[in-house]
Amino acid sequence: MSDSVTKYFEMLEDGTIKGTSDKKTTYIYESPDGGKTVSRRPFGSDVDEREVIQKPPILSEGDKKQAYQILIDFPEKAILEAARILKAQYGN
């Protein structure tokens, strides 16, 4: 167990801090790639218990080029309106 986790449990035992009395789980959130992929695991658990909760979008290089071309070819207001329409239709 890491030093910080060990210290946390020591502080719980001596009453310096209070643990949660309800059944809520406290999670540690981690991202190895600056936020593209996000995983979480219960506080104090092994790293093997991680679950991925957000995966990076999968875009081909061709899709990325088309997106940049749209930014070049159309005015910002038109692009923002198109994004609003897509969001209303598909969510997210």
Q: What is the pLDDT of residues 20-52, one digit of tens each?
A: 555 678 888 888 888 788 899 998 888 888 898
In terms of pLDDT, which residue wins out, 80 or 4?
Answer: 80
Structure tokens belonging to residue 51: 């679950």
Among all chains, which residue has been given the structure tokens 């210290």?
A: 7
Q: Is the pLDDT of residue 14 over 90?
A: no
Q: Residue 42 pairs with which residues in a beta bridge? A: 27
Q: Is the pLDDT of residue 92 over 80?
A: no
Strand ranges, E, within 1-92 = 27-30, 38-42, 51-54
Question: What pLDDT is stored for residue 70 in this prediction?
Answer: 95
Judge if pTM exceeds 0.75: no
